[in-house]
Amino acid sequence: DQQVKQNSPSLSVQEGRISILNCDYTNSMFDYFLWYKKYPAEGPTFLISISSIKDKNEDGRFTVFLNKSAKHLSLHIVPSQPGDSAVYFCAASAGQGYGGATNKLIFGTGTLLAVQP
């Protein structure tokens, strides 16, 4: 039973355009959500997070949107750059409260983003 779903295994975008990566979840107890980026032969690195008390969080070119009623979040990258090409994982945690203790994360299956020059 996949509690966090990333239904698009891959996404190709032109450099300079917007990349939108989507993530759906089923567990209404999730209250903290994170996005990680992973390059080949490296571990995942934290990108951006959002608490369930917010519906948007922005950090430079990266914005995460949370729609709690739809149990859906998305990551927007604007403008996309070739260096953004990587696998992006959505992750969620439950019952940690605001502040985001991340001792137990449930991950999606990942989306491979390719940004074409």
Partner 1 sequence: EAQVTQNPRYLITVTGKKLTVTCSQNMNHEYMSWYRQDPGLGLRQIYYSMNVEVTDKGDVPEGYKVSRKEKRNFPLILESPSPNQTSLYFCASSSTWTEKGAFFGQGTRLTVV
- Tokens linked to 3: 């509690």
Choice between 16 and 97, CB closer to partner 1: 97
DSSP 12: E
Query: How many chain residues touch partner 1 (CB under 8 A)?
Result: 26
- Residue 43 interacts with partner 1 (CB under 8 A)? yes
| DSSP-derived pairing of the beta strands 30-38 and 86-94 | antiparallel
Stretch that binds partner 1, among 13-21, 61-69, 70-78, 96-104 (CB under 8 A): 96-104
Contacts 24+ apart (CB under 8 A), 59-66: 62/35, 64/33, 64/35, 66/33
d(Cα 115, Cα 19) in Å, to the nearest integer? 9
- Residue 100 interacts with partner 1 (CB under 8 A)? yes
- Residue 70 interacts with partner 1 (CB under 8 A)? no
- Residue 30 interacts with partner 1 (CB under 8 A)? no
d(Cα 17, Cα 8) in Å, to the nearest integer? 18
- Residue 74 interacts with partner 1 (CB under 8 A)? no
Choice between 49 and 63, CB closer to partner 1: 49
Interacting residues with partner 1 (CB under 8 A): 4, 6, 34, 36, 41-46, 49, 51, 89, 91, 99-110
